[in-house]
Amino acid sequence: MDRLILVDSDTLLFSSASVAETRSIEVLHEPTGAKKEFTNRTEFKELMKSKGKEITQDYKITDKQTPEPVENCLHLIKSSAESILERYPFDEVVFLAGDEKNFRLELPLPIQYKANRKNMIRPYWLKEAHGYFRKKYKARKAISYETDDLLSILANDAIKQDREVIILVPDKDARQTIGAKIGNYGTPERELVQIKDFHEVSLENGKAKSFGVPWICLQVCLGDMTDGFKPTQLAGIKYGEYRDWE
């Protein structure tokens, strides 16, 4: 049990709950009372464009969710979790999922942290997914900060104890955890990366990529629009991460 495997499971739960439902939109033309269902907004816009019609305020769009049985969602979660456990049968595996009272929500930013997600429709079974996961796999919940923070804290504590640490996470935030190895549980065939103090900065599809200190610097300069945070909002300057690099 000298090796510690830390799994950021928020995306795992979100994806499993998302797959276990069907989404669509219902469009109501108020003047006539006519209704029609579409797979998504793009399908509706393309139909209107093909007919040479303009989308006016007369059209009211309602999002619809049709969930499958909750067992389908829980089965997907179990399959993913068991696959990770089978890969590391002799190691301590700690699953992390969910947060509460995140201090970032109270920060005096130009726009509230993650305010861009307020109108996002959450998967129907997401709450049940988290409850099941915490009960069955003893997943740890972050209190007063985020799952990413808890992961980094646990990783650094273990590294100080000279333990080998492997982080399995699908997103990019954990790339700054110096001393750990990082991989993606969704692509287990890829080789783990040992995070050192400094790595080269590269470009992948126009996006900057690195690890360690360079990655921390990139995050500070570029922010993360998935969280609705962009440092350039304060500076009043627009710049991109790929300009003048090649």
Q: Tell me the per-residue pLDDT of 47-93, one tens digit each, with 9 for 90 and over.
A: 999 999 999 999 999 999 999 999 999 999 999 999 999 999 999 99
222: exposed, middle or buried (Cβ count in 10 Å: 0-12, 13-18, 19+): middle
User: What pLDDT is recorded for position 114?
Assistant: 81
Q: Among residues 4, 180, 169, which one has the least CA distance to residue 92? A: 4
- To the nearest 10 degrees (0 to 180), the angle between helices 70-87 and 126-137 is 40
Torsion sign, CA atoms 238, 106, 150, 170: negative
pLDDT of residue 109: 76
End-to-end CA distance of the chain: 45
Encoded tokens for 24: 């669509």
Please provide the average confidence, as pLDDT, over all residues in the chain: 90
Residue 245 has a pLDDT of: 40
Model pLDDT, residue 1:
58
Residues with pLDDT less than 50, the chain: 243-246
DSSP strand pairing (202-204 vs 207-209) = antiparallel
- According to the model, what pLDDT value does residue 244 have? 44
pLDDT of residue 27: 96
Q: What pLDDT sits at residue 116?
A: 74
> What is the gyration radius of the CA atoms in the chain, in angstroms?
22
